[in-house]
Structure formats: structure tokens, C-alpha cells
Amino acid sequence: MKIAFFSTKPYDRIWFEPMAKSYGFDIRFYDVPFEEETVFLAKGYDAVCIFVNDYVNAAMVEQLYEMKVKGILLRSAGFNHVDVKAAEDKIHVLRVPSYSPEAVAELSMALLLTVNRYTHKAYTRTRDFNMSLNGLMGVDFYQKTAGIVGTGKIGQAMIRICNGFGMNVLAYDPYPNDQLEVEYVSLDELISQADIISLHCPLTSETKHMIDRNAIQRMKKGVYLVNTSRGGLIDTDALIEGLVEGRFGGVGLDVYEEEEGIFYEDKSNEIIRDENLARLMTFPNVLITSHMGFFTKEAMQAIAKVTLENAYALENGLPLVNRVGAEASS
């Protein structure tokens, strides 16, 4: 199988190149993102392999279909960046449903602990022998109420972590898991009762901007909010308003709704024209990371393994257990 691999970073090659050889796959690595301007590069390949900030719209699906591309291999669990309905009955869309739920959940807690206890600021201070504690006071997470939105594998891992901290855990999911020992409540109840809110759900038409002005107004004063799922779950304008009003104890974001073209790139010598992102960076109680929840050795190895297993199944006519159907995107 010939695979065109887009948005390549050095760490992708470390895991994918040796594994691809074991399958006998021919992979061409492209540094450029997969978008309308680069779709022509897929000509002559059996599949394209894309990441979260690439996209495939309906017009691109038609182009890929005409090129006889058989599969779109996602190096992610989320698939909101692909027009799955347009691809139905034309091109198989295959994802990595689970790589390391613990990796994402652990980063969620790392963000929460950092914005609460200001360890990033303490590190900078002490490097200059500034041992003052002024401005570094946090709160105990012990016996606080954590609200987990989404109880898939990542949400479950986050519940385990919060339980380990001695927190009271509430959960919301439109499809509750009766095997979990957790108290399910409505989203409204969770938002109004939680001291800490952690988002672990996919981005769909139903969940887009689920954290909006109304939701923020109902949150406890001093709430901690963390998002390691998809940026579009939060209305950024409403978030900034809430921060200006002093409603949040801290906010940790590993994702941002307009991150395409910024995250995963070095923009340190450029002027950032995204005013909302630049504004978020000015708040002392906001910590932003560059969509790195997946970025552990274990997760990268699992992503490469499952992605190439999906390609092998596609090539050999085996059951496509990780195929995304149009019904999943509705």
C-alpha cells in the first residue's frame, strides 16, 4: 500500500517509519498540511494519513475519489475535521479510537495543578532566586467537586485520577455508562455544582460551544476549567468575558477553536494575528499548551500501531473495526 502522510513532524517518523517497513508499506512523508491546496499530492496513493489540524471537506472527498484513493487514515480519535457524510460509500475513514487515555487525562490534571499552584511561575521565579510566595496561593483539590463532561475512556481515566485526589466526582454524558461507579447528573447540574470542570467529549453539532455565556454564568465563582478535547467545545469570546469578570480560578487549554495553522508550529518570531488567542495569553490564570495531550511515548507508539493496522485491514479486505460511519457524525 502507498500512503501519503501529511503534517509530518520529526517524531512521527520515529514511530511510523520502522513500523511501516514491517508491513511493507510505502509511505511518502509530507511536511505540509492536508488541505484544498495540497490534495493533489494524494494522486497515485492508496490512502492519505492526516492529523487533527488537517481537514477533508466534501470537494476534497470528490477529488480523492476521482484519484482512486481508498482510505483516509486519521492519526486521532476525533474526526470532526473530515466530512464523513461526503465520504460515505466512497472512501473509508479510519480513526484511532483509543491510544492512551491516561496520557490525555494526566495532562488535564497537570494543567489543573499548574494553574492552581502556579508551579510554572514558581519555576521562573526561583531560577532568578526570587523566593517570594506572593501571588502563588492555590486551593486544595481534596474534597472539591470535579465535574467530568464525557465518560469515554479518557473521561474514565480522569475520574480515576480525581478519585485519587480525594475529590467528589460528578459526571455528565448523554450515554451514561452503568458500569462506572460515578454519580451522573445533568449538564446544568454539573456546571453549577463543580469546583473543577474537565471536558472529555467529541466536537459535534450538539457539543459545539457547550461552554457558552449562559454556562459560564451558571458556574461557581472561582471555578477551574480544563479542555483537552476540542477547542470548539468552548465559546472563546464568552470565555474571555468570564475571565475579565474574574469568574475563573484558573483555565487550562490544550486546544483552541482556531488553532489550525498555529498549533504544532513555531510562531515565536511572528506577529500573532489571532486577537482572541493573544488576549488569552495575557491572563495570569490561563495556561495554554499546543494540543499535546497525546504526546507520550506510549501514545505515539499506539497511534502508529493502530493507524497502520487500519491500513493493513483496508489493503487486505479485513473488517474495518475503526471505520467512522456517517451516522457517527450526525
Which residue is it, cell 502556579?
A: 118
Catalytic residue among 95, 200, 247, 291: 291
Please state, in angstroms and rounded to a whole number, the distance separating the CA atoms of residues 120 and 183: 33
259 catalytically annotated: yes
**What are all long-range contacts of 314-320, with beta carbons under 8 Å and residues at least 24 apart?**
314/1, 314/46, 314/47, 314/70, 314/71, 314/92, 314/94, 315/1, 315/46, 320/92, 320/94
120 catalytically annotated: no
Catalytic residue among 35, 102, 257, 259: 259
Beta strands 183-184 and 168-172 are parallel
Catalytic residue among 92, 200, 230, 247: 230
Burial class (CB in 10 A: 0-12, 13-18, 19+), 305: middle
Contacts of 304 (CB under 8 A, 6+ apart): 15, 16, 19
Please state, in angstroms and rounded to a whole number, the distance separating the CA atoms of residues 169 and 220: 16
Q: Which three cell numbers stand for residue 61?
A: 472527498
Report how far apart the first and last C-alpha atoms of the chain are (Å, whole number): 31
The catalytic residue positions are 230, 259, 291
